[in-house]
Amino acid sequence: MIPGITHWDLMSIEKPARYIGGEWNQTPIKEQADLNICLAFPDLYELGMSNIALKILYEILNKDPKIFAERVFSPWVDFSNLLRKKEIPLFSLESKRPLNQFHLLGITLPYEMTFTNVLELLDLGKIPVLAKERNGFPLVIAGGPSAINPMTISPFFDAILIGDGEEALYEICKITLSAKNSSCSRKEILKEIAEVEGFFVPDFPRPVRRRIFLGFPNFPPPIKPIVSHIESIHDRSPLEIFRGCIQGCRFCNAGFFYRPKRERPPEELTNWALKITENTGDEALGLVSLSTSDYSNLKKLVNNLESRLPYPDSSLNLPSLRMNDKTLELMKVTQKIKKSGLTFAPEAGTQRLRNIIGKNITEEEILKVIEGTRETCFRNVKLYFMIGLPFETDEDLDGIGNLMEKILAFNRRLKLKKEFSISISPFVPKPFTPFQWAPQISGKELERRRHIVLKSLKKIGIKTSWREEFLCSLEAIMARGDEKVGKLIYAAYNRGCHFDAWNEHFKPNKWQEALAECNLSIEEYTRERNFEEKLPWDFIDYRVPRKYFEDEYKRAEKLASEKHG
């Protein structure tokens, strides 16, 4: 039971299973552990339980008998209100320990619009939101893809990891454990953490080098992942088959964050897959990577898994595929891919713009992949596009409708019986990409461009969703901001902003008030940058040369000028 919370309390909230713990494969409570760490995900349980980083770190840390790693997720509004009403601090799922009683709190940052949720986690856990107001433990650590520009979140964290966490987090656990036993001060611990490769410590600022886990290929994945009480957003057991990306799309930070490409051997993956499915009972196995069809031994791996997965209804889930010949080949060799649907990301409607952004697929390849689904049971196909891309024209926007019209006509002609939908998202410039200098166009202009696309799609009657323009402007501010943006996040949180990524809780008027209070403008952070300008994240060695990013941006400019020069 949860101390201070009754069965009647739990019956009054949505999905109480989010908060009770006790799941299958949960680590038993270690009463005598020397170091207690809580791994936090700043969004709902269902999303956090699908996060592979959390699964990896949980299993690594709990292999050490001296360390007890637990979990916490952002509580939904009803449960956070209950905690405040009863004056109960937010607690971990395993031991129900309040967050303020841990030695370390490690928070994964998957997406910029979860930053206010971080403040809510700290506040509910009775931990001072601002790092400068803390004494002793816990130390609050950040990591993940949205921590790559640490300046915007630096007021809230004691240390921020840039890069892979497998070795890095374990190293600072050992530092903290040693310092705790020798009664070192908080300041002394942070000074030592600042010497660990990959960590930015705001109290001891210095150049940082992105951490790369080179031992990944032969390092086991989570073999006994926790089985969630309720259906998670990705309801499958994950198996990360490789890390990194070789495509180099000019807008994509993830492709550079996870470099270099590191593949796991197909034989080892097959053995690990069998253990995972036996330990979880899951019939669905997800082959996880940035682009599964780029795995060099995919055909061999799929054949191995098809013949050896233990359950009659076992299926493979390949969540990220490219529209190319390797995907076509894969559809031919396997019948056990989960038939829930396919998702692809052409990103742009014209070949011209796809070339400019580095998305090197042709219209012919797109249609070939659609045709390749003919003999499969896939019925739903979702396509992702961006608007507001650098060097985009209205002709490129019309191209989205034109491309979809061709796809639907192709679908009817071949009698494929597929259901198509598309998602439209404004371009957000991210650090450590060739387009980190590019502007994000104004919300008003983004809205105009969205209406161009919607008008072209209306006549063909295709289901369409899109992201709100102002939300994407805020994402750009937090992605490319400086330390002043931390004050903005704090001001917005104090006005009641959190769960900003959820439409029903996003409060644009409160964010506007926070911008005014901090005397900040959207344009200040969404404007175009020049190569000579010092960027807030320039002190980080990302292990991709800055000149490479500059040259790639110039290549994109050249491609754009060749067509319209």
DSSP code string of 500-554: TTSTTT--HHHHHHHHHHTT--HHHHHS---TTSPPTTTTEE-SS-HHHHHHHHH
Q: Are 196 and 248 in contact (CB under 8 A)?
A: no
Between 203 and 344, the more confident residue is: 203
Question: What kind and span of H or E run contains 9?
Answer: helix 7-11
Residues 437 and 500 in one domain: yes
In a domain, 1, yes or no: no
Residue 323 — very low, low, confident or very high, per pLDDT cuts 50/70/90?
Answer: confident
Average pLDDT value for residue range 463-482:
96
In a domain, 126, yes or no: yes
Single-letter amino acid code for the residue at 106: G
Single-letter amino acid code for the residue at 385: F
The total number of structural domains in the chain stands at: 2
Q: DSSP characters for 24-83?
A: BTPPPP-TT-SEEEEEEESS-HHHHTT-HHHHHHHHHHHTSTTEEEEEEEPPPHHHHHHH
Chosen domain end from 171, 193, 209 = 209
Residues 295 and 191 in one domain: no
Residues 449 and 528 in one domain: yes
The full length of the chain comes to 565
Residues 205 and 249 in one domain: no
CA distance 107 to 443: 31
Residues 201 and 243 in one domain: no
Chosen domain end from 166, 189, 209 = 209
In a domain, 224, yes or no: no
Report the Cα 385 to chain-centroid distance in Å.
18
Q: Are 125 and 98 in contact (CB under 8 A)?
A: yes
* Cβ burial 308-327 (10 Å sphere, 16+ → b, else e): ebeeeebbbbbbbbbbbebb
* Whole-number pLDDT of residue 339: 47
Q: What is the domain-level CATH number for residue 56?
A: 3.40.50.280
Q: What is the domain-level CATH number for residue 436?
A: 3.80.30.20
Structure-token match 């409160």, residue found: 510
Q: Are 217 and 263 in contact (CB under 8 A)?
A: yes
Residues 167 and 247 in one domain: no
* Whole-number pLDDT of residue 158: 98
Question: What kind and span of H or E run contains 266?
Answer: helix 266-280
Residue 321: pLDDT over 90: no
- Look over the chain and give the mean of its residue pLDDT values, rounded to a whole number: 93
* Whole-number pLDDT of residue 331: 66
CA distance 351 to 4: 60
In a domain, 229, yes or no: no
Residue 565: pLDDT over 50: no
Q: Are 117 and 73 in contact (CB under 8 A)?
A: no
Average pLDDT value for residue range 349-369:
93
Written as six digits, the tokens of 18 are: 């989010």
Q: Are 91 and 72 in contact (CB under 8 A)?
A: yes
Residues 161 and 62 in one domain: yes
In this structure, the dihedral spanned by the alpha carbons of residues 486, 139, 173 and 32, taken in order and rounded to 10 degrees, is: -150
Average pLDDT value for residue range 313-339:
68
Residue 131: pLDDT over 90: yes
Written as six digits, the tokens of 386 are: 């961006």
- Domain of 81, in residue numbers: 7-209
CA distance 175 to 181: 10
Residues 482 and 534 in one domain: yes
Closest C-alpha among 200, 211, 170 to residue 37: 170
In a domain, 320, yes or no: yes
What are 74-106's pLDDT values in tens digits? 999 999 999 999 999 999 999 999 999 999 999
* Whole-number pLDDT of residue 338: 53
H helices of 115-214, where?
Answer: 115-124, 166-181, 186-193
312 three-class SS: coil
Going from the C-alpha of 170 to that of each of 150, 176, 193, the distances in angstroms are: 20, 10, 12
Query: Percentage of residues in the chain with pLDDT exceeding 70?
Result: 96
Residues 402 and 353 in one domain: yes
CA distance 498 to 113: 9
Structure-token match 């061999």, residue found: 300
Residue 466 bridge partners (DSSP): 424
Residue 335: pLDDT over 60: no
Residues 172 and 25 in one domain: yes
Question: What kind and span of H or E run contains 369?
Answer: helix 363-372
In a domain, 46, yes or no: yes
Closest C-alpha among 461, 465, 386, 366 to residue 428: 386
What are 148-183's pLDDT values in tens digits? 999 999 999 999 999 999 999 999 999 999 998 888
Q: Are 348 and 386 in contact (CB under 8 A)?
A: yes
* Whole-number pLDDT of residue 216: 97
Residue 340 — very low, low, confident or very high, per pLDDT cuts 50/70/90?
Answer: low
DSSP state of 341: -
Average pLDDT value for residue range 418-423:
91
Chosen domain end from 193, 209, 225 = 209
Q: What's the number of CA atoms in the CB half-sphere (13 Å) around residue 44? A: 20
Residue 22: pLDDT over 80: yes
Residue 107: pLDDT over 50: yes
What are 258-297's pLDDT values in tens digits? 999 999 999 999 999 999 999 999 888 888 999 888 899 9
Residue 317 — very low, low, confident or very high, per pLDDT cuts 50/70/90?
Answer: confident
Residue 114: pLDDT over 90: yes
In a domain, 564, yes or no: no
* Whole-number pLDDT of residue 2: 83
Query: Percentage of residues in the chain with pLDDT exceeding 90?
Result: 79
188 three-class SS: helix
Residues 267 and 170 in one domain: no
Average pLDDT value for residue range 529-540:
97
Residues 194 and 256 in one domain: no
* Whole-number pLDDT of residue 333: 60
In a domain, 228, yes or no: no
User: What is the Cα gyration radius of the chain?
Assistant: 24
Question: What kind and span of H or E run contains 208?
Answer: strand 208-209
Average pLDDT value for residue range 188-212:
98
